[in-house]
Amino acid sequence: MNILIIGSGGREHALFWKLSQSPRADRIYALPGNPGMGETAGISIEDNTAVVRFAKEKDIGLVVVGPEVPLVHGLVDDLTAAGIRAFGPSAAAAQIEGSKSFSKDLMKKYGIPTARYEAFTEPEPARAYVRKMGAPIVIKADGLAAGKGVIVAMTEREAMDAVADIMENNSFGAAGSSVVIEEFMEGEEASLLAFTDGTTIRPMISAQDHKRAFDGDRGPNTGGMGTYAPAPVMTEKMAVRAVEEILKPMIAAMAEEGRPYRGCLYAGLMITSEGPKVVEFNARFGDPETQVVLPLLDGDLVEIMCACCEGRLADVPIAWKNGAAVCVVLAAGGYPGAYEKGNEIRGIADAEDAGALVFHAGTAAQDGKIVTNGGRVLGVVGRGADIAAAVRAAYEAAEKISFDGMYCRKDIAHRALNR
């Protein structure tokens, strides 16, 4: 069948790579795509009507939606209504990511473990709550803020500044018209993604992301500077608890609420002394988690995704390979602040020859060359028998790549290596 991938980042390139291994895959289109997976020009992924028309024209049998924005805008609903199989949640179900207060209220109602919280639409009561709870405390803009609307305040002063910033100075625009203020959870984070058809849930291998820009988890938050899988903090026992206490009740709750959830459910978890608790849910694959999870998937991704759409996930074989994968993001100097574009990238083929997977994220094709075109430029994935071997493979390959201003974290997977 022909397949259409929506999105243009490293996550989508990794999806492309895995989908293209399926015997069921014929032509795979990417919209807008990137030079690593091919590109389609002239259609906005926020124009549902145009995407539906394109999918019909190209006789697409499966659409895979990468990013959250088109999900929240109902792209899967519109494709499904047009009779096109689409992997991902409906707009109603994508609210688990689209609105933090929706997701927190649902967890409270169904007893799913997460940080205690209150939601506010006025700054005064928000400040009173901060004073009552004290620091450390976490302040979150309610809507989609591209991963940047969260302030972990270590002092009451920082918390007050965050409330003023979000609610009075509108630093996150409309996303900040309401805030969620929650208890600070102590522990180590891990991401657990799962396939679901609305009833059955099949967890993937766990992963851990590095959100800060610099070594030692310092510097500003980014979209993710690297990942590794599996995450040792997610022991078999913890994974079973996460599935039984979080993923299964969540899927049941969404069905109960009349918003059956299908697609990839991403649970950002804190492994606390009391067990796993939810930091956030995302309605999609993680980026760059996908780049390390899919290389360890032993199964036919086209078949798995079709089964999710058709409610027959329980019958599909899914296994996970032994060993580990590590992704090192090569970023443009200045990212997550301002950075240059258009710098020539060298050495991608050498890195691939060394056995790594190189996923394009912020690149463009220009005069027969590949140039930088975003903050996170490439994700270099090493694989090995264990995390240490995968780390070595990733950095050996990354060293073969260069462009002006390139930087990367040198300590991806440090928590796993130092255990």
**Do 284 and 68 touch, CB atoms closer than 8 A?**
yes
Sort strands 28-34 and 38-39 into parallel, antiparallel or unpaired: antiparallel
Helices (H), ranges, 58-200: 68-72, 75-81, 95-98, 100-110, 123-133, 156-163
Q: Report the nearest approach of ligand AMP to the CB of residue 343 (Å).
A: 30
By the rule CB under 6 A, 89 interacts with ligand GLY? no
Sort strands 60-65 and 86-87 into parallel, antiparallel or unpaired: parallel
Q: Report the nearest approach of ligand GLY to the CB of residue 352 (Å).
A: 24
Structure tokens at 14: 């990794």
- Cα dist from 380 to 187, 224, 291, 295, 393, whole Å: 28, 13, 9, 12, 9
- Exactly one of 68, 182, 197, 300 binds ligand AMP (CB under 6 A); that residue is 182
**Do 6 and 375 touch, CB atoms closer than 8 A?**
no
Nearest to 223 by CA among 347, 332, 102: 332
- Exactly one of 165, 189, 217, 352 binds ligand AMP (CB under 6 A); that residue is 189
Stretch that binds ligand GLY, among 27-35, 269-277, 281-289, 363-371 (CB under 6 A): 281-289
Looking at residue 53, its amino acid is: R
Q: Return the residue matching tokens 């599935």.
A: 243
Q: Which is nearer to ligand AMP, 138 or 398 (CB)?
A: 138
By the rule CB under 6 A, 184 interacts with ligand AMP? yes
- Exactly one of 137, 287, 343, 351 binds ligand GLY (CB under 6 A); that residue is 287
Q: Report the nearest approach of ligand GLY to the CB of residue 223 (Å).
A: 7
By the rule CB under 6 A, 97 interacts with ligand AMP? no
Residues 254-293 that bind ligand AMP (CB under 6 A): 268, 279-280
By the rule CB under 6 A, 143 interacts with ligand GLY? no
- Exactly one of 185, 201, 331, 408 binds ligand AMP (CB under 6 A); that residue is 185
By the rule CB under 6 A, 224 interacts with ligand GLY? yes
Q: Report the nearest approach of ligand AMP to the CB of residue 189 (Å).
A: 6
Structure tokens at 116: 């205690």
182 binds, among ligand GLY, ligand AMP, none (CB under 5 to 8 A by kind): ligand AMP
Neighbours of 201 (CB within 10 A): 20
By the rule CB under 6 A, 118 interacts with ligand AMP? no
Q: Report the nearest approach of ligand AMP to the CB of residue 148 (Å).
A: 8
DSSP state of 344: B
Q: What's the sign of the alpha-carbon dihedral 352, 15, 251, 202?
A: negative
**Do 263 and 87 touch, CB atoms closer than 8 A?**
yes
Q: Return the residue matching tokens 């959870």.
A: 185
- Exactly one of 263, 286, 374, 375 binds ligand GLY (CB under 6 A); that residue is 286
Which residue spans within 283-375 are E strands per DSSP? 297-298, 319-320, 324-332, 357-360, 363-366, 369-372
Looking at residue 233, its amino acid is: V
- Exactly one of 65, 133, 138, 207 binds ligand AMP (CB under 6 A); that residue is 138
By the rule CB under 6 A, 158 interacts with ligand AMP? no
Sort strands 324-332 and 406-407 into parallel, antiparallel or unpaired: antiparallel
Q: Report the nearest approach of ligand AMP to the CB of residue 211 (Å).
A: 6
By the rule CB under 6 A, 358 interacts with ligand AMP? no
Report phi then psi at 117, rounded to 5.
-160, 165
Report phi then psi at 77, rounded to 5.
-60, -45
Q: Report the nearest approach of ligand GLY to the CB of residue 105 (Å).
A: 21
By the rule CB under 6 A, 10 interacts with ligand GLY? no
By the rule CB under 6 A, 217 interacts with ligand AMP? no
286 binds, among ligand GLY, ligand AMP, none (CB under 5 to 8 A by kind): ligand GLY
Q: Which is nearer to ligand GLY, 306 or 324 (CB)?
A: 324
Q: Report the nearest approach of ligand GLY to the CB of residue 206 (Å).
A: 13
Chain residues in the site for ligand GLY (CB under 6 A): 147, 209, 224, 282, 286-287, 289
Q: Which residues bind ligand AMP (CB under 6 A)?
A: 115, 138, 140, 147, 150, 152, 182-185, 189, 211, 268, 279-280
